[in-house]
Structure 1
């Protein structure tokens, strides 16, 4: 599938909270941008070696601009620092997408839980749930009230939204919203890994949908495993994947072009169809159902449970 890619112009820079900068992106000739659904993100190329994924947090019906919010991370790898300190209105950045690994599924009831900058993909979900007439609530936590983005926008939803700054009220009371999840209710959560793990531990099987900004520790620390081979179905070429080398790197070394971005198994860019073989899933994107089906894999981190995989490459 052909993905949209273009040089977009930074339209506005606004402060949404302490350390959170909101940017709008538009086409330089005001051409309509591709449609997107709540939960989608885009890849933003900030410079050589600086490519980051940001959730779209504006109005899906507005095709004139895309809106993203960027948290200034003190211990980051340079992307957020560049956005906050170097990127200015009128500058151009290359953008790919949108891509959606966190799609809002239809349900009669939703429980939304967000931590910090994890509010960004959830924000348009609330508007969609409201428009659909679904029953929903949001539990939104952060370290301080001043550092929590979009609180003013959330006021219109009244008491369906609970804003919980940690320095005022302590940690989120997950039991109050998750211990009575009724059948048919979907729980959507985005935020720090600790919050996602805590929510996952409380949710009924099949009810939870999450998006992670960092890979799961268990996946990162998993042993490399033995060498295996990958057959590229489109050319019939066979590639050896030794321990310590990812499928992505092994394939690219043969000259085959593959779309990729984070190389951590969190963005979904390199998701590839599996024609034959059993993947050893180590990503933080696919659901348990998708892993069990084994129809696709994230080749930047996942490996093979046997000695051979055939991929649609």
Structure 2
């Protein structure tokens, strides 16, 4: 799960996509083709020691020469967006890893897309894919103000299938007309701030909704207990203490594992489970993937029982 393309890419173009949002176009310095990706995918920008951030690809999946991401300047953030806005410039190199996709667009006859703020980024290529597939779709897109909402000019070509609803003009998004009485077979894709995702979840029937979260969803647990993890590739068995993550335990034992957010939202540390039942605490996997128990995010998830066997 941890094998991914990684390379130093060049910032070919850097431009404003909205108030407080910058769009980066990244290319390989030698013109090499970049890995294929599908709508919903994201990449990691490795901006410095301990400064890795995930950004959705929002360009054209058919273009294997360039990747585009958009970054919102977050004054209260942890430094990633400030680095992009203040330190990166045209011609600079940045290490990029990925792509990964836990928000893939599944085939359906019709879609309802809901985006809030910078949550428009993974949705943009989804609209083009839905259009190409001949599906029936609409997008409800909200933000603080029209000036702060990225890519509205690109969305204009879709006409009245896109509803742009700035909060300072229309108030909070009216989800009722979009989500109530969904026709059978409709899939709902939503990305944005936590309160918006929570509101959409309350209205959507089971199985219809797919979300991507920027912040981890609050988990209710019964508390942590000690358990064992067997590393199948080496045969070693480690004890994961209460209050200590699997990720920290295996890294302390000298096992190199890719990780990034360490809070269960990015999917970088996804690891195959060979035996045992995970206690899923991430904000990435679907209900079906959790039930299958074939993988887990070792930065936050634990064990329901005494032992897990992982493909590490």
The answer on 1:218 being equivalent to 2:219 is yes
Q: State how far apart, in whole Å, the 2-side matches of 1:161 and 1:78 are.
A: 33
Partner of 1:291 in structure 2? Answer: 290
Q: State how far apart, in whole Å, the 2-side matches of 1:300 and 1:3 are.
A: 18
CA offset digits 1:247-301 (Å, max 9, x no partner): 0110111111111111110011111111111111000000011111111110000
Partner of 1:232 in structure 2? Answer: 231
Partner of 1:87 in structure 2? Answer: 88
* Displaced runs of 4 or more, over 3 A: none
Q: What SS does structure 2 have at the residue aligned with 1:306? A: coil
Q: What SS does structure 2 have at the residue aligned with 1:214? A: coil
User: 1:224: Cα distance to partner?
Assistant: 4.4
Q: State how far apart, in whole Å, the 1-side matches of 2:240 and 2:95 are.
A: 32
User: 1:118: Cα distance to partner?
Assistant: 0.1
Count of residues in correspondence between the two structures: 311
Q: What SS does structure 2 have at the residue aligned with 1:297? A: strand
Q: State how far apart, in whole Å, the 2-side matches of 1:54 and 1:109 are.
A: 26
Give the gaps of 5 or more residues in structure 2.
Answer: none
Q: State how far apart, in whole Å, the 2-side matches of 1:214 and 1:11 are.
A: 29
Partner of 2:189 in structure 1? Answer: 188
Partner of 2:274 in structure 1? Answer: 275
User: 1:180: Cα distance to partner?
Assistant: 1.6
Normalized against structure 1, the TM-score is what?
Answer: 0.98
Q: What SS does structure 1 have at the residue aligned with 2:219? A: helix
Partner of 1:50 in structure 2? Answer: 51
Q: State how far apart, in whole Å, the 1-side matches of 2:222 and 2:172 are.
A: 34
Q: State how far apart, in whole Å, the 1-side matches of 2:124 and 2:136 are.
A: 16
Partner of 2:158 in structure 1? Answer: 157
What RMSD, in angstroms, separates the aligned Cα atoms of the two structures? 1.0
Normalized against structure 2, the TM-score is what?
Answer: 0.98
The answer on 1:256 being equivalent to 2:255 is yes
Partner of 1:265 in structure 2? Answer: 264
Q: State how far apart, in whole Å, the 1-side matches of 2:35 and 2:298 are.
A: 26
Give the gaps of 5 or more residues in structure 1.
Answer: none
CA offset digits 1:141-175 (Å, max 9, x no partner): 00100000000000000000000000000011111
